[in-house]
Amino acid sequence: MSTRHFDIVVIGSGPGGEGAAMKAAKEGKRVCMVDNRVLVGGACTHTATIPSKALRHAIQRLVDVQNDHPELRVELAKVSKFKDMMRKASSVVARQVQLRTTFYERNRVELSIGHGRFLDANTLEVTDPRGASELLSAKSFVIATGSRPYRPPELDFTHPRIFDSDTILTMNETPMTMLIYGAGVIGCEYASMFRMLGVKVDLVNTRDRLLSFLDDEISDALSYHLREQGVLIRHQEQMERVEPTDDGVVLHLKSGKRLKTEIFLWANGRTGNTHDMGLDKLGIQTDSRGNVQVNDAYQTVVPHIYAVGDVVGIPSLASASYDQGRFAATHIVEGRLEHKLVKDIPSGIYTSPEISSLGRTEQELTHQNVPYEVGHAFFKSLARAQITGRTVGMLKLLFHRDTREILGIHCLGDNASEIIHIGQAIMSQEGPGNTIDYFVNTTFNYPTMAEAYRVAALNGLNRLF
C-alpha cells in the first residue's frame, strides 16, 4: 500500500481542525484533512451547534409572529411542527458545508474521507466507509475529532422514544410532553426551545442549581424565566432506571419519584471521539470520558501529536476550538505560544433568554477577596429594547473599586452573545486601557442595545464613595 506524505495531518474537520488546517496551509505547509464524514464541518455543523441554533432561531421567529399576530395563531400552529422547523436548520447546514468546502479548495488542503487510526507515531491509516484504506504520513498531527453525547450502557437508544442531543434533531413530530435528563447547557437550551413550541417540559437537574458556573444572579434569572415559561425544574435528582413503554417512557429517580413522558431526552455529558484511534499504543491515554490530556501548547505526551477542541474537554465551545486549532498550528509552524488566542473566551448559551459571560463572577471575586463593585442595566429601561419588545434581560458589569478595571461581564437577554463583545474589546486591553470609565466617556448610538454599557457603568460608578 502506497503512503502519501504531508507536513501536517489534521483529524476532524470541525472548528478545531479547520482552524489548525487553515493556519498551517496559509503558512505554506502541505496539509491533509481526515474526516469520517463525506461533508466537512464536523459535529458542530452537522449535529450540534449550527443545526440546534438554526432550529432555535426558527422557533423564536414563529413565537414572535404568534405574539405579534394572535389572530393567526391557529393557522401558524399548522406549520409549527418540529420537522418544519428543522427544514430551516437543514438549509443553513447545507450553506455552511458549501462555504467550508471552498476554504479547503482555496487553500489546497487535501481531504481524506474515513476513520483515522495510528499505526505508529508518524503513520495514520484511513479506512473509508466501503472498507478501502490508505496510509498518510506526517511530521505533525492534530487530533480534532470532537465529541458525541455520552450514552450510558443501561439506556436503550434504539427505542423510538429515547433520544440524545444528536438524534433529537431527527425527530419528525412535535411531542406533547418531554423529559430532559441533564440540565447543563444543552439540556437548558433544548428545554427552552421545546417549551417555546408548546411542549410540556420536565427538566431534571442532577445538581442544586442551573449552570452553576455562571454568576449566581444570571443563573437565578435563567431559572426564573424557564419556570415562568412553564418548564418544571427538578433539582438534585439522580436517575435510577428508565422504563420504556408502548406509549411513553417512565423515569424512576433515586428519590422515589416516577415521571412519565412521551419523549425522553438524555443530555447528561459528552464523550471525546477517541475510540479505536490507536492512541493507547502510542502512550496517549484518555480519561473515562474519552478526553485527551494536553499541555499548554496542546501537545499530547507525544510532542508532535497535538489535540484541540472538545476532545480535550472544557471549555468545549466551537469558538474556543477554532482558536485552539490556530494556536496548535502556530506552535507547530513557528514554535511559539500565542496565549491570547485561548484566554478569556466568552461563553454563549442559547436559551430563551440568551446568556453570555466573560471573566469572573461575583462569587469568585468574593472568594478571592477582590474589592469589586456592580453596575446593572436592565433591558426594560432601554429605549431600543422597548421598541423591539425584547425587554427581558440585563447587562451586569463587575469592576475593581480602586483601579476601575473590568473584571467580569454577564449578560442575559436577546442577543446577549453579540452584546458581550463590546465589553470584551475593552476588557482585553492591557493596563489602564481596561477601565469602566470608557463607557461613560464614549458616545453610543441612540437608541441601541450597546447603550446598556453606559447605563451599567454609570449605575456602578454611582455606588462608589
145 marked ligand binding residue: yes
- CA 288, CA 68: separation in Å to the nearest integer? 49
C-alpha cell at 134: 490508505
146 marked ligand binding residue: yes
182 marked ligand binding residue: yes
430 marked ligand binding residue: no
Q: How many CB atoms lie within 10 A of CB 463?
A: 10
411 marked ligand binding residue: no
188 marked ligand binding residue: yes
147 marked ligand binding residue: yes
53 marked ligand binding residue: yes
189 marked ligand binding residue: yes
187 marked ligand binding residue: yes
Q: What residue type is 28 in one-letter code?
A: G
310 marked ligand binding residue: yes
- CA 42, CA 322: separation in Å to the nearest integer? 12
391 marked ligand binding residue: no
49 marked ligand binding residue: no
Q: What is the 3-state secondary structure (H, E, C) of the chain?
A: CCEEEEEEEEECCCHHHHHHHHHHHHCCCCEEEEECCCCCCHHHHHCCHHHHHHHHHHHHHHHHHHHHCHHHHHHHHCCCCHHHHHHHHHHHHHHHHHHHHHHHHHCCCEEEECEEEEEECCEEEEECCCCCEEEEEEEEEEECCCEEECCCCCCCCCCCCEEECCHHHHCCCCCCEEEEECCCHHHHHHHHHHHHCCCEEEEECCCCCCCCCCCHHHHHHHHHHHHHHCCEEECCCCEEEEEEECCEEEEEECCCCEEEECEEEECCCEEECCCCCCCHHHCCCECCCCCECCCCCCECCCCCEEECHHHHCCCCCHHHHHHHHHHHHHHHHHCCCCHHHHCCCCEEECCCCCEEEEECCHHHHHHCCCCEEEEEEEHHHCHHHHHHCCCCEEEEEEEECCCCCEEEEEEEECCHHHHHHHHHHHHCCCHHHCCHHHHCCCCCCCCCCCHHHHHHHHHHHCCCC
184 marked ligand binding residue: yes
431 marked ligand binding residue: no
Which parts are annotated binding residues for NAD(+)?
A: 182-189, 269
Residue numbers in the known binding site are: 53, 116, 145-147, 182-189, 269, 310
Name the binding residues for FAD: 53, 116, 145-147, 310
